[in-house]
């Protein structure tokens, strides 16, 4: 098959221009993106594009967009060798995480990219990002995709999507993957990190499960957190899953006021996922006294998951599974390479 790539344009800074009235950046049409990088016509493969009916700043992303993206990918799956999704940087890590959980048996690359400066600006980072994303999306060895994963290309690095976090609102190196090595580094050559790419055999045809249950919350603990604030979160009507952002290796206060609330939430059937506030490293429940009680109460370890991936994984599992034990089992294991499971300390 002749190689061909579908670019799906959702909005984001890469295609923005200054609004003539307010001066604020807002998404603009796809043509000007293509006009800014005429050299991509020199790639030896076909490039088509699909522009979403309503272009958005990615701060407006909702789970409905993730479903639309999966639908577009599946409808066009046979026609293209890979997909590049142009997306704002603000929620790119959420969208890439969500698609990684929604899509199953993916054998082709889905590469998210965008930029910090619009592609129409002289110093834009959008050109390099787009060109590298296209090259990676089209890369094949013996007819098979080099990176059959949902990933993010940004600032000369390719990351696994569900391992990535936006770390800088200014630098061209806007993303980082603290707990998993880059899948590729882009210099004069593109160096693929073959050992880090997911080549596990795909069992079955590509498919998507796109429902998301948004009855979740994030509770970031801090010294001085008020009990009534915790109550307000765990008493949210319909709450099913809670991402508990803890200190260090998964530690939380040991006072009875806090712990009794955690216990009460678990008894009510709320699934609590322990995610560290640290960018690097992992939750090790039971390593300190301050996390043993969480473990005893029924809190599940998020290991080294990012908050972005934890949010999407929780929404996905709550929609997909009915049995709480099955959900816990899945939370505790790597579905799409999003966590490194360790059993240190317990």
Kindly list the catalytic residues.
Answer: 13
Residue 177 interacts with ligand ASP (CB under 6 A)? Answer: no
Q: Which of 46, 94, 45, 47 is nearest to 69 (CA)?
A: 94
Tell which one of 15, 63, 82, 114 touches ligand ASP (CB under 6 A): 114
Q: How far apart are CA 66 and CA 64, in angstroms?
A: 5
Kindly state the smallest distance separating residue 112's Cβ from ligand ASP, in Å.
Answer: 11
Residue 88 interacts with ligand ASP (CB under 6 A)? Answer: yes
| Residues 18-47 as x/- pattern, contact with ligand ASP by CB under 6 A | ------------------------------
Q: Which of 317, 269, 309, 278 is nearest to 97 (CA)?
A: 309
CB nearer ligand ASP, residue 169 or residue 188: 169
Tell which one of 51, 81, 97, 116 touches ligand ASP (CB under 6 A): 116
The helix/strand/coil state of 316 is helix
Residue 10 interacts with ligand ASP (CB under 6 A)? Answer: no
CB nearer ligand ASP, residue 68 or residue 321: 68
Task: To the nearest 10°, report the CA torsion of 283, 288, 293, 295.
Answer: 30
Cα-trace Rg, the chain? 21
Kindly state the smallest distance separating residue 86's Cβ from ligand ASP, in Å.
Answer: 9
CB nearer ligand ASP, residue 58 or residue 210: 58
Residue 151's Cβ-count burial label (10 Å; 0-12, 13-18, 19+) is buried
Beta-carbon contacts of residue 109 (< 8 Å; ≥ 6 apart)? 82, 83, 136, 137, 139, 145, 146, 147, 148, 149, 151
Tell which one of 59, 142, 189, 343 touches ligand ASP (CB under 6 A): 59
Residue 15 interacts with ligand ASP (CB under 6 A)? Answer: no
Q: Which of 281, 262, 282 is nearest to 272 (CA)?
A: 262
- By rule CB under 6 A, what count of residues binds ligand ASP? 11
CB nearer ligand ASP, residue 88 or residue 250: 88
Kindly state the smallest distance separating residue 116's Cβ from ligand ASP, in Å.
Answer: 6
Residue 57 interacts with ligand ASP (CB under 6 A)? Answer: yes
Beta-carbon contacts of residue 173 (< 8 Å; ≥ 6 apart)? 154, 155, 156, 157
Binding site for ligand ASP (CB under 6 A): 11-13, 57-59, 88-90, 114, 116
């Amino acid at each position: 098959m002749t190689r061909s790539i579908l670019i799906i344009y959702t909005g984001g800074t890469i295609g923005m221009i200054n609004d003539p009235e307010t001066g604020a950046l807002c998404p603009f049409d796809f043509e000007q993106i293509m006009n800014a990088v005429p050299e991509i016509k020199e790639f030896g493969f076909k490039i088509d594009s699909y522009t979403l009916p309503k272009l958005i700043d990615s701060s407006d992303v909702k789970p409905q967009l993730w479903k639309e993206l999966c639908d577009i990918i599946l409808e066009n799956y046979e026609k293209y060798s890979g997909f590049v999704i142009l997306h704002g940087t603000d929620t790119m890590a959420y969208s890439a995480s969500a698609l990684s959980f929604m899509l199953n048996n993916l054998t082709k690359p889905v590469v998210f990219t965008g930029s910090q400066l619009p592609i129409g600006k002289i110093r834009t980072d959008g050109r390099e990002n787009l060109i590298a994303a296209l090259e990676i999306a089209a890369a094949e060895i013996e007819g098979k995709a080099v990176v059959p994963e949902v990933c993010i290309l940004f600032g000369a690095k390719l990351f696994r999507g569900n391992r990535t976090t936006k770390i800088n609102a200014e630098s061209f190196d806007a993303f980082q993957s603290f707990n998993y090595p880059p899948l590729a580094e882009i210099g004069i050559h593109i160096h693929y990190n073959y050992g880090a790419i997911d080549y596990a055999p795909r069992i079955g045809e590509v498919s998507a499960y796109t429902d998301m249950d948004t009855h979740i919350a994030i509770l970031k603990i801090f010294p001085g957190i008020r009990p009534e604030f915790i109550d307000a979160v765990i008493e949210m009507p319909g709450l099913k899953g809670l991402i508990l952002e803890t200190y260090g290796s998964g530690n939380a206060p040991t006072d009875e006021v806090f712990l009794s609330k955690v216990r009460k939430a678990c008894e009510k059937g709320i699934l609590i996922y322990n995610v560290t506030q640290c960018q690097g490293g992992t939750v090790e429940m039971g390593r300190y006294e301050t996390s043993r009680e969480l473990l005893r109460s029924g809190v599940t370890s998020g290991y080294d998951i990012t908050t972005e991936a934890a949010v999407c994984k929780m929404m996905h599992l709550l929609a997909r599974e009915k049995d709480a034990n099955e959900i816990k089992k899945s939370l505790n294991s790597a579905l799409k390479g999003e966590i490194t499971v360790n059993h240190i300390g317990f």
